[in-house]
Structure 1
């Protein structure tokens, strides 16, 4: 079996090759999705050069963060659905929150962020599939939410995140990513702090890079199968 360091290097190379093949002008970074993996796995990836880690569960992430106080450059990204009763823990634990999709959550994160810390970096999650059972702000409501986040003093608007439809239909994936790219361009034109388009996971990350993603989210390719 390959080590985490070896698997991570393979992922870095694959991202580089994809960007070169697509002749992209933007840089794409990797968010290592470490949910359900132990703190030691994060340490191994960090020692191999990875700095940004994505977690879906606030309590799990807080526990792992407490085990890794000696990793000064680590970035913790929250990427899961946000419950109102978890906003304080999220505000205390994370450097980025990529799944803000409503005003109430944005206001709570702002109010509960420790003012001695740097502002929380925020991505708005867009419901790009337009399905009622999926998280995310409707594309038509993105700009009003962005305007609110931009005005909150302890938040910094950084960009957009989406979870594409669970499909192998390339046309559907391409249409969704194209819409995200357009929304991202619109946001960048209005806010100087915006620089992040987080989209693409294990089944569609190559197309996401081609479609303008500045960050992709991969876990199993780095850490292997998740625990229960």
Structure 2
């Protein structure tokens, strides 16, 4: 499955659109299989689950780990040590904490600001209004490379509603000259590409069903 799915999707992506393989709930062996095909970027959302996998795959050169889950402030240091990219910075206070700790750890991660452009109690993120209010401070934080925005549509949205939200996210990123938009998952990645996504977060379409033992035993 890995080979056919990965080649089919990656071969049809436009230049500038990157495939992030969401390995949350999948084993290090599965990640290794996909890495052997040429996949380099992997996304995890639970620190406790991710760290053993990252450790066991250190022999593979050039793997890049992305943190995509809700990030608790007390896990900021550990995430900064293990991940090169963080897609889920959902508040100014978290960004400020990451900036301070990144300076202490002598790292400079890429970050995405998670924005919530529609009401959805199940999702985190900054509202458009909050993002606009905090932009000046966010854009001047040291030790962070602010690359773009991340968004997730409400689960019950139609594909057309999702695409409209993706377009809105792209337009907001363009307004502030941010190059990246992390948006689009296995069910709506084609709409995200059409709207201007640069990072697609795909899990089940690449790996298949998640492993329950990994998903249930790990907490962020």
TM-score by length of 2: 0.89
Within a 5 Å distance, the mapping from 1:141-180 to structure 2 comes to: 141-167=130-156, 169-180=158-169
* Separation in 2, partners of 1:7, 1:202: 11
More contact order relative to length (CA 8 Å, sep ≥ 6): 2
Within a 5 Å distance, the mapping from 1:1-228 to structure 2 comes to: 2=1, 4-13=2-11, 15-16=12-13, 19=14, 27-113=16-102, 117-167=106-156, 169-188=158-177, 194-228=178-212
Q: Deviations over 1:40-82 (max 9, x none)?
A: 2111111111111111111211221111112231111111111
- Displacement after TM superposition at 1:116 (Å): 6.0
When the two chains are superposed, the root-mean-square deviation of aligned CA atoms in Å is 1.8
Partner of 2:217: none
TM-score by length of 1: 0.86
Structure 2 counterpart SS, 1:202: coil
Structure 2 counterpart SS, 1:173: helix
Structure 2 gap ranges (5+): 213-220
Cα 1:57–1:145 change in 2 (3 A) is farther
Quick check: 1:77–1:96 contact (8 Å CA) kept in 2? Answer: yes
* Separation in 1, partners of 2:98, 2:61: 23
Structure 1 gap ranges (5+): 20-25, 189-193
Q: Deviations over 1:120-139 (max 9, x none)?
A: 10100011222244201001
Quick check: 1:126–1:160 contact (8 Å CA) kept in 2? Answer: yes
Quick check: 1:59–1:89 contact (8 Å CA) kept in 2? Answer: no
* Separation in 1, partners of 2:77, 2:104: 13
Quick check: 2:81–2:105 contact (8 Å CA) kept in 1? Answer: no
- Displacement after TM superposition at 1:174 (Å): 2.6
- Displacement after TM superposition at 1:223 (Å): 1.0
Q: Which of structure 1's runs of 4+ aligned residues deviate more than 6 A? A: none
